[in-house]
Amino acid sequence: MTDTAYSRQDFQTDQEVRWCPGCGDYTILASMQSFMAGLGVDPKDVVFVSGIGCAARFPYYMNTYGLHGIHGRAPAIASGLAVSRPDLSVWVVGGDGDMLSIGGNHLIHALRRNINLKLLLFNNQIYGLTKGQYSPTSEVGKRTKSSPWGSVDYPFNPISVALGSEATFVARTVDMDRDHTQQVLKAAYEHKGAAFVEILQNCNVFNDKAFIRLTSKEERDINRINLEHGKPVVFGPDDEWGVVIEGGTARLVDVSEVGIDAIHVHDAQADSPAAAFAISRLSHGPTGPTPFGIFRSVERAVYETELQQQIHHAQESRGPGDLAKLIASGGTWTVE
Amino acid sequence: MSEASTIDTSTETENVSAVAIRFAGDSGDGMQLAGARFTDASAIFGNDLSTFPNFPAEIRAPAGTLPGVSSFQIQIADRDILTPGDQPDVLVVMNPAALKANLGDLRPSGMLIINSDAFEERNLTKAGYATNPLDDGSLDSYRVLQVPMEELTQKAVEPSGIRGRGVLRSKNFFAVGLMAWIFNRPLEPTLEWIDKKFAREEEVREANRLAFKAGFNLGETTEMFRHTYEVRPADMAPGVYTNLTGNQGMAWGLVAAAQSAKLPLFYASYPITPASDILHDLSRLRNFGVRTFQAEDEIAAAGAALGAAFGGHLGVTGTSGPGLALKSETISLAIMMELPMIIVNVQRGGPSTGLPTKTEQADLLMALYGRHGEAPLPVVSASTPADAFHAAIEATRIAVKYMTPVILLSDGYIGTSSEPWLLPDLDTLPDISLPFAPPQEGEGPFLPYLRDETTLARPWAVPGTDGLEHRLGGLEKEDGTGNVSYDPKNHEKMVLLREQKVKRIADDIPLIEVTQDEDADIVVLGWGSTYGAVLAGIRRVRAKGYKVAHVHLRHMNPFPKNLGEVLARYDRILIPELNRGHLWRLIRAEYLLDPIQYSKVQGQPFKAAEIEAKLMELIGT
Ligand SMILES: Cc1ncc(C[n+]2csc(CCOP(=O)(O)OP(=O)(O)O)c2C)c(N)n1
Ligand code: SF4
Whether residue A212 contacts residue A219, with contact meaning beta carbons closer than 8 Å, is answered with yes
Whether residue B447 contacts residue B469, with contact meaning beta carbons closer than 8 Å, is answered with no
Q: Which residue of B has its CA nearest to A66?
A: B471
Q: Is the CB of A124 under 6 A from ligand 1?
A: yes
Residue of higher predicted confidence among A171 and B165: A171
Q: What's the one-letter identity of residue A28?
A: I
Which pLDDT score, from 0 to 100, does residue B11 have? Answer: 37
Chain A residues in contact with B239 by the CB 8 A cut-off are 334-335
Interface residue A65 vs chain B (CB under 8 A): yes
3-state secondary structure B66-132: HHHEEEEEEEEECCCCCCCCCCCCEEEECCHHHHHHHHHHCCCCCEEEEEHHHCCHHHHHHCCCCCC
Residue of higher predicted confidence among A262 and A3: A262
Which pLDDT score, from 0 to 100, does residue A262 have? Answer: 97
Which pLDDT score, from 0 to 100, does residue B9 have? Answer: 40
Give the distance from residue A271's alpha carbon to the nearest chain B alpha carbon, in angstroms.
Answer: 26
Terminal Cα-to-Cα distance of chain A (whole angstroms): 61
Q: Is the CB of A19 under 6 A from ligand 2?
A: yes
Interface residue A310 vs chain B (CB under 8 A): yes
Model confidence at B323, pLDDT cuts 50, 70, 90, reads very high
Q: For B265-305, how does the pLDDT look when each residue is reduced to its tens digit (9 = 90+)?
A: 999 999 999 999 999 999 999 999 999 999 999 999 999 99
Q: Residue A223: pLDDT above 80?
A: yes
Q: Do B306 and A80 make contact, defined as CB atoms within 8 angstroms?
A: yes
Instruction: Report the sign of the C-alpha dihedral through residues B542, B545, B546, B549, in that order.
Output: positive
Share of chain A above pLDDT 90, in %: 92
Model confidence at B363, pLDDT cuts 50, 70, 90, reads very high
Average pLDDT for residues B226-254, to the nearest whole number?
Answer: 90
Q: For A138-196, how does the pLDDT look when each residue is reduced to its tens digit (9 = 90+)?
A: 999 999 999 999 999 999 999 999 999 999 999 999 999 999 999 999 999 999 999 99
Q: What's the one-letter identity of residue A301?
A: A
- Quote the CA–CA distance of A298 and A271 in Å, as a whole number: 7
Interface residue A16 vs chain B (CB under 8 A): no
Q: Residue B151: pLDDT above 50?
A: yes
Residue B437 neighbours by CB under 8 Å, 6+ apart = B446, B459, B460, B461, B462, B465, B468
Residue B32 neighbours by CB under 8 Å, 6+ apart = B53, B55, B70, B72
Q: Is the CB of A136 under 6 A from ligand 1?
A: no
- Quote the CA–CA distance of B296 and A275 in Å, as a whole number: 28
Q: Residue B523: pLDDT above 90?
A: yes
Q: Do A70 and B330 make contact, defined as CB atoms within 8 angstroms?
A: yes
Which pLDDT score, from 0 to 100, does residue B1 have? Answer: 39
* H helix count then E strand count, chain B: 20, 23
Among A285, A280, A303, A299, smallest CA distance to A163 is for: A280
Q: Residue A3: pLDDT above 60?
A: no
Q: What's the one-letter identity of residue B206?
A: E
Interface residue A9 vs chain B (CB under 8 A): no
Among A217, A281, A207, smallest CA distance to A24 is for: A207
Chain B residues in contact with A11 by the CB 8 A cut-off are none
Which pLDDT score, from 0 to 100, does residue B222 have? Answer: 76
Average pLDDT for residues B102-111, to the nearest whole number?
Answer: 90
Burial of A252 (0-12, 13-18, 19+ CB in 10 A): middle
Of A124, A176, A207, the one to substitute when testing ligand 2's pocket (max ligand atoms within 8 A of C-beta) is A124
Residue B95 neighbours by CB under 8 Å, 6+ apart = B25, B26, B29, B64, B115, B118, B119, B123, B127
Q: Do B464 and A87 make contact, defined as CB atoms within 8 angstroms?
A: yes
- Quote the CA–CA distance of B349 and B602 in Å, as a whole number: 8
- Quote the CA–CA distance of B234 and B564 in Å, as a whole number: 37
Residue identifier of the C-alpha nearest atom 1 of ligand 2:
A128
Average pLDDT for residues B350-371, to the nearest whole number?
Answer: 96
- Concatenating the DSSP letter of every residue in B402-451 gives HT-EEEEEEEHHHHH-EEEEE---GGGS-----PPPPP--SSS---TB--
Q: Do A85 and B299 make contact, defined as CB atoms within 8 angstroms?
A: no
- Concatenating the DSSP letter of every residue in B524-558 gives EEEEGGGHHHHHHHHHHHHHTT---EEEEESEEES
Residues 260-279, chain A: which have Cβ within 8 Å of B? none
- Quote the CA–CA distance of B237 and B80 in Å, as a whole number: 10
Strand spans (E) along A175-327: 195-200, 224-227, 234-235, 241-246, 249-254, 290-297
Interface residue A78 vs chain B (CB under 8 A): yes
Give the distance from residue B388's alpha carbon to the nearest chain A alpha carbon, in angstroms.
Answer: 13
Q: Do B242 and A88 make contact, defined as CB atoms within 8 angstroms?
A: no
The mean predicted confidence, pLDDT, of chain A is: 96
Q: Residue A76: pLDDT above 80?
A: yes
- Quote the CA–CA distance of A167 and A303 in Å, as a whole number: 13
Distance A21 CA to ligand 2 centre (A): 8
Interface residue A101 vs chain B (CB under 8 A): no
Of A107, A129, A156, A198, the one to substitute when testing ligand 1's pocket (max ligand atoms within 8 A of C-beta) is A129
Residue of A93, A326, A329 to mutate, interface with B, max B Cβ within 10 Å: A326
Whether residue A297 contacts residue A268, with contact meaning beta carbons closer than 8 Å, is answered with yes
Q: Which of A11-15, B13-17, B304-308 has the highest mean pLDDT?
A: B304-308
Chain A residues in contact with B255 by the CB 8 A cut-off are 321, 323, 326
Among B349, B323, B364, smallest CA distance to B57 is for: B349
Residue identifier of the C-alpha nearest atom 25 of ligand 1:
A71
Chain B residues in contact with A109 by the CB 8 A cut-off are 295-296, 300
- Quickly count: other Cβ atoms within 10 Å of residue B609's Cβ: 18
Share of chain B above pLDDT 90, in %: 84
Among B337, B402, B494, smallest CA distance to A70 is for: B337
Share of chain B above pLDDT 70, in %: 97
Residue of higher predicted confidence among A209 and A2: A209
Give the distance from residue B191's alpha carbon to the nearest chain A alpha carbon, in angstroms.
Answer: 14
- Quickly count: other Cβ atoms within 10 Å of residue A271's Cβ: 7
Nearest neighbour of A319 by CB, restricted to B287, B297, B470:
B287
Q: Residue B2: pLDDT above 80?
A: no
Q: What's the one-letter identity of residue B2?
A: S
Of A17, A18, A23, the one to substitute when testing ligand 2's pocket (max ligand atoms within 8 A of C-beta) is A23
Q: Do B300 and A105 make contact, defined as CB atoms within 8 angstroms?
A: yes
* ipTM exceeding 0.90, yes/no: yes
- Quote the CA–CA distance of A20 and A204 in Å, as a whole number: 8
Which pLDDT score, from 0 to 100, does residue B445 have? Answer: 86
Enter the DSSP assignment of A147.
B
Write the CA distances from B174 to A24, B68, B149, B168, integer angstroms: 74, 21, 7, 10
3-state secondary structure A203-245: CCCCCCCCCHHHHCCCCHHHHEEEECCCCECEECCCCCEEEEE
Q: For B86-105, how does the pLDDT look when each residue is reduced to its tens digit (9 = 90+)?
A: 999 999 999 999 999 999 99
Q: Do A326 and B466 make contact, defined as CB atoms within 8 angstroms?
A: no
Share of chain A above pLDDT 70, in %: 99
Enter the DSSP assignment of B256.
H
Residue B392 neighbours by CB under 8 Å, 6+ apart = B249, B250, B253, B254, B256, B257, B342, B344, B382, B408
